[in-house]
Chains A and B, each alone.
Chain A
Amino acid sequence: MLSYAIRRLLIAIPTLFIVITVAFFMMRIAPGGPFDQERALPPEIEKNIKAAYDLDKPLIEQYGIYIGKLFQGDFGPSIKIRDFSVAELIMAGAPASMQLGLSAIAIALVFGVAFGTYAALRQNSAVDFAVMGVAMIGIAIPNFVMAPLLSLVFGLYLSILPTAGWGDGEIQYKILPTIALALPQIAYIARLTRGSMVEVLHSNYIRTARAKGLREKLVVNRHAIKGALLPVVSYLGPATAAVMTGSVVIESIFGVPGIGTYFVKAALNRDYPLVMGVVIVYAVMIIMLNFLVDMVYGLLDPKLKSH
């Protein structure tokens, strides 16, 4: 198990490095720069500004400088949002984004598994079809449609929840964005759980458990769940990525002051350091969660444990 963990960790580091490198060069080979304006700057001033951000040096050297600073924890200054460093902006935005993302995943996991198991235990009944039908709707309605609909219904018609902003982080501001972000994932996880649960319930070891007279509740909770959760656990990696990309949209719809809102704006403005910073934060989170998922998978799956 330990060597498995180390091996996984050894893959995670170069992966992060690849992300940084690809993102860096993709940003730079593109036409356009952060100082393109309607009115061209006088050449001397442009030269000075570029020199201040090291943009006048050869690309490889810029890359070297960036990596060097990154190792010291320095993400550089934001080019467009004056007087703020990228690190400051990320520190300001990250808490809201993380809370949003993590609570969405947690909610998706709890409700998805619960609904999926419930449907699987009543396979082909009306309840099963109802749950799976609703799950299909959850998949077919993207979160950027669900979000305005939710704010229309709960914010305007019922006016029980605020439709935008984050307040001081009070719970009523978090409900709508979190639900909008979690719904498609609840649907996916419910479908996955139902599928694998149905399969597990037909397997031999469950028949054995039943044959020795265990109560149905114990059969499900102690034996079936563990096997049925394997595909769900391995889906958590892609789910994390989906939730994080989704939060870019959700944050801008609900006006959440997170790092997702920065990303699109910064990319459009060619604010190189800020884009890089946000990509790195997201990449670290995704890679970390993937690593965690691999570890949990190793613990759950006896076939991997022996390695």
Chain B
Amino acid sequence: MMNKSEKTAMLEAAGAPDEIEGRSLWRDARIRLFRNKAAVGSMIVLGIITLLAIFAPLLSPYEYDQIDWGYIQEGPNWENGHIFGTDGNGRDLFIRVLYGARVSLAVGLLATAVSLAIGVTYGAVAGYFGGRIDNIMMRFVDILYSLPFMFFVIMLMVVFGRNIFLIFVALGAVEWLTMARIVRGQTLSLRRREFIEAAHATGVSNFKIIFRHIIPNVLGPVIVYMTLTIPQVILTESFLSFLGLGVQEPLTSWGVLISEGAKVIEASTWMLIYPAVFLALTLFCFNFIGDGLRDALDPKDR
């Protein structure tokens, strides 16, 4: 048996410095990220919000759709357990905000995953093949860019009913364009590199080169952009919900709660303030983490 340092030494001798260098790059980035106070603070806050969302049912004596006839649209009150007050139907606002967090975060993550899958594949294929294929594919993206996309999403929601899976797909389908552009740009500069040529020479298929060699090497900018896409998607979902096109009662999301609160803002300010604070805080945190990641992964930008 050899120990770890021997193994490393052997790997180095065998000419695998790429891998080791890559790892230290990520470690560097991690150190830089954890030095960024705003980013670390944001991660902690987001972590708390996520935990609250996951354990929501355990945190309140009320159900999210339970009507408390004694307290209809009452302000925050610690004594009866409605710490955020109740809504116009006598439902506990605290638990509803947390259930809204579930929907908003889930939509944010899943729709971003959809956009990631489409955008990264599309961009990598366009950049890798280059030439005419690249031209046609990116022209297509240009055209899509100049479409009033939100209107299509609104139409889609209206037309096919308020299906939550449709929200994921629709938002993902809208948000992939920038991702495709970023990945394509990175791929263009990668595809003439020696290790890609080597893969080519040893007969690796194009498909495999794209997924095994190109995509892992563009992960840095992709991760940064991903953290910035999540708040974008959450915001868009809230926007749709605000218009009454998002999730359906009795389920809720931050957008729905905000729109309910906005209607009664004069009488019951708390109904707007609590969901709005949670939404703003989440968007704030994701943006700070995204900025922090960019500074960490792309030090030349400073």
Chain A residues within CB distance 8 Å of chain B:
11-12, 14-15, 18-19, 22-23, 26-27, 30-32, 136-137, 139-142, 144-145, 147-149, 151-152, 156, 237-238, 241, 244-245, 248-249, 252-253, 263-264, 267-268, 275, 278-279, 282-283, 286-287, 290
Contact = CB atoms under 8 A, between A and B. Distances in A.
Contact of B150 (A23, A26, A241, A268): A241
Taking chain A's interface residues, is the majority helix, strand, or loop, or is none over half, making it mixed? helix
B160 A30 contact: yes
A55 to B, nearest CB: 16
A286 B269 CA distance: 36
Interface residues of B, number: 42
A287 B147 CA distance: 7
Taking chain B's interface residues, is the majority helix, strand, or loop, or is none over half, making it mixed? helix
A287 B243 contact: no
Interface string B113-139: 000000000000000000000000001
A60 B258 CA distance: 42
Instruction: Identify the interface centre among B159, B272, B279: most chain A CB within 10 Å of its CB.
Output: B159
B287 A140 contact: yes
B155 A241 contact: no
B280 A18 contact: no
Nearest to B245: A264
B159 A144 contact: no
Given A22-B152, A144-B262, A275-B155, A264 B243 contact: yes
B154 interface: yes
Instruction: Identify the interface centre among B151, B280, B284: most chain A CB within 10 Å of its CB.
Output: B151
Given A26-B156, A283-B148, A287-B146, 17 more contacts: A19-B147, A23-B151, A26-B152, A27-B155, A30-B160, A140-B287, A142-B283, A144-B255, A145-B276, A147-B262, A149-B276, A241-B148, A252-B243, A267-B158, A267-B159, A282-B148, A286-B148
Contacts of B152: 22-23, 26
Nearest to A293: B146
Given A241-B149, A264-B243, A282-B148, A142 B156 contact: no
A286 B146 contact: yes
A223 B235 CA distance: 37
B259 interface: yes
Contacts of B34: none
B259 A144 contact: yes
B145 A237 contact: yes
Contacts of B245: 264
A248 B240 CA distance: 11
Given A26-B159, A140-B280, A244 B148 contact: yes
B62 interface: no
Nearest to B156: A26
Contacts of B156: 26
Interface in B246-302: 255, 258-259, 261-262, 265-266, 269, 272, 276, 279-281, 283-284, 287-288
Contacts of B281: 140
A53 B271 CA distance: 44
Contacts of A22: 152
A232 to B, nearest CB: 16
B143 interface: yes
Nearest to A146: B276
A264 B269 CA distance: 26
Contacts of B255: 144
B186 interface: no
A189 B287 CA distance: 15
A30 B150 contact: no
Nearest to A241: B148
Contacts of B276: 141, 145, 149
Nearest to A266: B158
Given A144-B262, A279-B151, A249 B288 contact: no
Contacts of A30: 158-160
